[in-house]
Structure 1
């Protein structure tokens, strides 16, 4: 069974890059060839990217014509956009629409053969996945900056979400990748 990995850039104070808090500028200004190559290699490990409609529309307007080092992976790897209103996803190749119950749709995707699933995009969609309990692993890219403002990665939770550190990688730029598994879930790599 495939895992659902939530991948996200955050400030050291846990704020997301999708608010106008300067973190997106820090993310885009990181000049670290080692980190960039590692990140692109990680992208190619995805079996599919999952995102909400708003993020999909923004990315679909950017990636198909981008010359960014990540563009080839972003354009070629299958994408699943979760939306009950979107009727066509033709503007970005390799995209399909999931319009049913989110948990059922994700469980179907997890049951398919292939590489792990990666959820990316805005905090609204990611918050919904966290609250639904469908995330198996968090891959956090911590940027060397704090904002004091913006949306937190984690929503208000009814109870603590216990995580287990699987791996950490530090890069010369100060970016830190932290990989956490949800502690009460057994993942395929744990068996």
Structure 2
């Protein structure tokens, strides 16, 4: 999860253009490499609906993992799928065929974690991430701090119901000023 130095994951209205200003070739390669470690990418409905039309035709370095790794979409308000041009393309298949989870978030996450396979990677907006944090079921946090101060915006840790003691597992600094910290429970 990308965040500003002052702890915001987006501006007050969801603005996130600042994320790309400090990225560099090294940080992008690191994110792509980490992405391939996931066996499933999960996100909330709003993020899914925003990303699904974009990724199947994208060509940048993130396109392959975003299109090839299976997806799961979590919703409390129902989900009818998305209309994608060229839905028969391999790139669109993981978006069109995304698993939909509309039950209790904690129960659904417990079921997913009990299955064999590679780790689950959660991406998306502040609301979904905050709700996910509140379940207490996250094993690892990868917090990517960008060299920007937003002053106000949306945070993800407002969903924590009690203090969390995390163990720093790794720190990686990049030429553009981004610092990635991996914490484990």
Instruction: Give the TM interval when normalised to the shorter protein.
Output: 0.7 to 0.9
The residue matched to 1:155 in structure 2 has which SS? helix
The residue matched to 2:145 in structure 1 has which SS? strand
**Structure 1 residues without counterparts, runs of 5 or longer:** 1-7, 183-191
**Structure 2 residues without counterparts, runs of 5 or longer:** 85-91
- Give the aligned partner of residue 79 of structure 2: 86
Distance in 1, Cα, partners of 2:151 & 2:45: 28
> Is residue 101 of structure 2 the alignment partner of residue 122 of structure 1?
no
- Give the aligned partner of residue 147 of structure 2: 144
1:16 to 6, 9, 27: 9
Distance in 1, Cα, partners of 2:48 & 2:108: 17
Query: Post-superposition shift, 1:67?
Result: 1.8
Aligned positions of 1:1-191 closer than 5 A? 8-17=1-10, 19-20=12-13, 24-84=16-76, 85-88=78-81, 91=84, 92-94=92-94, 95-155=98-158, 157-182=160-185
The TM-score with structure 2 as length reference comes to 0.87
Cα 1:21–1:145 change in 2 (3 A) is farther
- Give the aligned partner of residue 88 of structure 2: none
Cα 1:124–1:112 change in 2 (3 A) is same
Q: Does the 8 A contact of 1:18 with 1:122 survive in 2? A: no
The TM-score with structure 1 as length reference comes to 0.84
- Give the aligned partner of residue 3 of structure 1: none
Q: Please report the RMSD computed on the Cα atoms of aligned residues, expressed in angstroms.
A: 1.8
1:103-155 Cα offsets, whole Å, 9 max, x none, are 12111111111110011100101111111111111101100111110012211
Cα 1:120–1:181 change in 2 (3 A) is same
Distance in 1, Cα, partners of 2:71 & 2:37: 13
Q: Does the 8 A contact of 1:48 with 1:80 survive in 2? A: yes
Distance in 1, Cα, partners of 2:103 & 2:23: 40
Cα 1:175–1:157 change in 2 (3 A) is same
